[in-house]
Chains A and B, each alone.
Chain A
Amino acid sequence: MMLRPDLAIIADTVAAGSRVLDVGCGDGALMAALRDTKGVDARGLEIAADNVAAAVSRGLSVIQGDADTDLAAYPDASFDYAILSQTLQTARRPDVVFDHLLRIGRRAFVSFPNFAHWRVRASLLWGGRMPVTRLLPERWYDTPNIHHVTVDDFRAFVADRGIEVEGAWFLSGDRRTSSAAANFRAEHAVFLLRN
C-alpha cells in the first residue's frame, strides 16, 4: 500500500524495533506499515471513532481521544518517537500539544501543510479570498485547520524552545524540494526534533 509522502518519509526514518506513538493516527496506515516492515511497537491516538474502529480492526492499539486534552495522561519518555502528522494545525493549543510530544517521545516527528507556499500566497494576494488548495482543501468556515503555520514560523518556534532539529524534509506534491526556499516552495514540511 502506498503511504502518503510525508508518512513515507517518517516510515523510512523510524528505527526498526522502536516504540512509536502516532498522535492523530487516522486509520492507522502509518502504524500498520511501521509494524509490518520494521517490527515497531506502535500506539495511536485518534479523535474520529470510525478511524479508531478501522485501526483496531487492523490489530493496532489505538485510543480514541483528543490530542488537546489526552496527551497529559502519557508518561514521560515512554516512546522512542512521538508523531504528529498533519494534526498540529488542527490543535486548539498547538504549543501545548507540541510540548507534550517532546515530553512523551525522545524524538518527535511533526508534519504540516505550509501556509506560506506560493500558491497560498498568490490565492490570498490576488484573489483576496482564504486559500483553498490541495493540502488545505476546506473553506474558511468548515476547516479543522485553525492554526495555520508556515515553515519559517515553525523554525522560529522550535528555535525559541531550544529544540534541536535532527532532520527536515520538504515536499511539493510527491517530490522533495530544497530546504533553502522551503518557506516559498514547499507545500508540506516534515521535521524530526529532539530535546
Chain B
Amino acid sequence: MTSTDQRYGLARSVTLPGPLRLDGGVLLSPVDIAYETYGTLDPDGGNAILICHALTGDQHVASNHPVTGKPGWWTRMVGPGKPIDPARDFIVCANVLGSCMGSSGPASVNPATGRPWGMAFPVITIRDMVRTQAMLLDHLGVGILKSVVGGSMGGMQALSWPATFPDRVRAIVVIASTARHTAQNIAFHEVGRQAVMADPKWRGGDYYGIGGEATDPPAAGLAVARMAAHITYLSEAGLTEKFGRKLQARETKTFGFDADFQIESYLRHQGIAFVDRFDANSYLYITRAMDYFDLAEEHGGQLARAFRTSKARFCLVSFDTDWLYPTAESRAIVHALNAAGAPVSFVELSSPFGHDAFLLESPELNRVVDGFLKART
C-alpha cells in the first residue's frame, strides 16, 4: 500500500456495485460507503481494527467533524499513544448503512427514480450494517480483522461480527451495549420517531430537494427526539450534580414556559445542535435497526449459538450508572459466551456519567481495552 492509494485515508467514500441482500429481503445496489482509515495496513494484513460507531455517530472517529468542526468522537481511545494507535494499527471506521454522512441512506438518490429514497429506502438491520462493513473491508483488502471495537449501537455491530463472519475477526470489544433491545429501549425510540413524524415538515419523509439536500427539514421533531434520547444517555446522579434545579441566567422563575432551569436549556441546545448534523429519516431507520436487534433470536433463541463457530476473544465493559444498557445486559452476553466456551473478559466500571461514559475520559476503560488488544492471541 502507498500513501497515494485512494482507498486509504481520511474522508474517503466508495460506491460498490452490490448487490447487498438485506435481512428485509431487498437487494440494495449500488451501495455507497463513507469511511476513514488511519495508520497503515501491514503486509500480512494482520493489524486491521474496525471501529463501529453509535446511533448518531459517524466515520470521523479521530478527525474533525466536517459540520461541527469538533474533534473526532473517540479521540480518547483512538490516536497516538492511545489504546487504538495508528502507529501500530490499521484503523477503519465506516458510516453505517442508513446514516447521513455519506453512506447509502434515505437521503441518497434512488437509482430507480433519480430522486432521494426518503421512506422508500429499505428497512435495515444491525446485521445489514455489518455486511456493508465486510464489503468495505473486501474493497480495502482486509481479510481478517485483528479486532472489532464498538460502544452502544457500535457494540451491537461488534457482537454481530463473530456471529455473521466468524472466520473474519480475532477479537471483539463491546462497550456499554446489549445483545437485544428491550421493551424499554424500543419505547424510548418510539417516542423519538413519533416526535419526528408528528412534525408537519416531515411530510411522510419526502422533504428533500432533488440532490438530497433538505432546506426545510422536520427540525423541531428531530430536536425533541434527540432531547428525549439524550436523557437516556445520562444518569440521574450526573444530572443532579451538573444541573440540579439551578436556574438558567435568571434569579427567579418566570412562571412561564421559557427554559427556566439549566437542564431545560441544556437539552434544547443538544436538540438544536443535533439537527444541524443529522437527518431525521436516518434517525428513523437507524433506531428501527436497533429495535429489531436480537442476536439470540437470529440464532434459534439461544444467544450462545450466535458464538458457536467463533474463535475470537471477547472483552465486554459496562458502566454502573448506565440504565440504557445496564450491566445485566452485558452479563447475559458474558454467560452466553461462557456457555459457548469463548475466551471472555468482563468488567463493570464505575462512572457518574451513565451510558455516555464510554465516550468520556476514562483511564480504566483505556487500560482495559489497551490490555485486551495487546494480549497475545
Inter-chain CA distance A73–B170, complex, in Å, is 24
B339 and A56 contacting across the interface, CB-CB below 8 Å: no
B351 to nearest A CB, angstroms?
11
Q: CB-defined interface of B340-354 with A at 8 Å, one 1/0 digit per residue?
A: 010111111110000
Inter-chain CA distance A2–B6, complex, in Å, is 53
A73 and B348 contacting across the interface, CB-CB below 8 Å: no
B334 and A56 contacting across the interface, CB-CB below 8 Å: no
Chain A residues touching B, range? 20 to 34
Inter-chain CA distance A50–B348, complex, in Å, is 10
Residue count of chain B within 8 Å CB distance of chain A: 25
A74 within 8 A of partner (CB)? yes
Name A57's contact: one of B341, B349, B370 (CB within 8 Å): B370
Cβ contacts under 8 Å, B364 to chain A: 49-50, 53
A25-65 contacts to B (CB < 8 Å): 41, 43, 49-50, 52-53, 55-65
Cβ contacts under 8 Å, A49 to chain B: 347-350, 364
B70 within 8 A of partner (CB)? no
A63 and B348 contacting across the interface, CB-CB below 8 Å: no
B371 and A75 contacting across the interface, CB-CB below 8 Å: no
Q: CB-defined interface of B347-374 with A at 8 Å, one 1/0 digit per residue?
A: 1111000000000000010011011101
Cβ contacts under 8 Å, B338 to chain A: 63, 73-75, 78
Question: In this complex, what residue of B is CB-closest to A78?
Answer: B341
B339 and A61 contacting across the interface, CB-CB below 8 Å: no
B372 and A73 contacting across the interface, CB-CB below 8 Å: no
B335 and A73 contacting across the interface, CB-CB below 8 Å: yes
B313 and A64 contacting across the interface, CB-CB below 8 Å: no
Cβ contacts under 8 Å, A60 to chain B: 345, 375
B376 within 8 A of partner (CB)? yes
B296-348 contacts to A (CB < 8 Å): 313, 315, 331, 334-335, 338-339, 341, 343-348
Take A59-B376, A61-B313 as given contacts and tell me if A73 and B339 are in contact as well, using a CB distance cutoff of 8 Å: yes
Inter-chain CA distance A155–B38, complex, in Å, is 60
- What 10 A-B pairs have minimum CB-CB distances, sorted nearest first? A57-B371, A59-B375, A73-B335, A52-B347, A61-B343, A63-B346, A56-B345, A64-B347, A56-B371, A56-B368
Question: Given A49-B350, A53-B368, A65-B331, 15 more contacts at CB 8 Å?
Answer: A49-B364, A52-B347, A53-B347, A56-B315, A56-B347, A57-B368, A59-B371, A59-B372, A61-B313, A63-B338, A63-B344, A63-B345, A70-B335, A75-B341, A78-B338
